[in-house]
């Protein structure tokens, strides 16, 4: 899966957790999940679980804690994906 595909998929995952859809439409890899998108910090757990299901990866707690921006999430997921799914 290409980086852009993972990024787009992350936006889909984030959609129900973000009330300001405009902020999501303007999102870049540097967009902060809590500060910019106002995601409730308690819901980060649900975003991690959803990401694990969608990308079929397992994200441990330390890795989850390192995710602050959309780019962080994409980086962690890209690093986890099987080579067959991640040609890059």
Residues near another protein (CB under 8 A): 16-17, 19, 42-46, 49
Closest contact distance (angstroms) between CB of 40 and another protein is 8
Residue closer to another protein, measured from CB, 21 or 87: 21
Q: Which is nearer to another protein, 43 or 75 (CB)?
A: 43
Query: Closest approach of Cβ 88 to another protein, in Å?
Result: 28
**Residue 28 or 40 with smaller CB distance to another protein:** 40
- How far apart are the C-alpha atoms of 88 and 84, rounded to whole Å? 9
Least distance to another protein, CB of residue 33, Å:
14
What DSSP letter does each residue of the chain carry, written as one string?
--HHHHHHHHHHHHGGG-S-HHHHHT--TT-BTTTTT---GGGHHHHHHHHHHHHT----HHHHHT--BHHHHHHHHHHHS-TTT---
């Amino acid at each position: 899966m290409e980086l852009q595909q993972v990024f787009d998929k992350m936006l889909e995952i984030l959609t129900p957790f973000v009330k300001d859809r405009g902020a999501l439409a303007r999102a870049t890899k540097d967009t902060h999940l809590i500060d910019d998108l106002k995601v409730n910090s308690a819901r980060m757990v649900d975003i991690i679980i959803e990401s694990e299901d969608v990308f079929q990866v397992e994200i441990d707690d330390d890795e989850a804690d390192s995710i602050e921006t959309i780019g962080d999430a994409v980086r962690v997921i890209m690093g986890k994906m099987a080579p067959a799914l991640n040609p890059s």
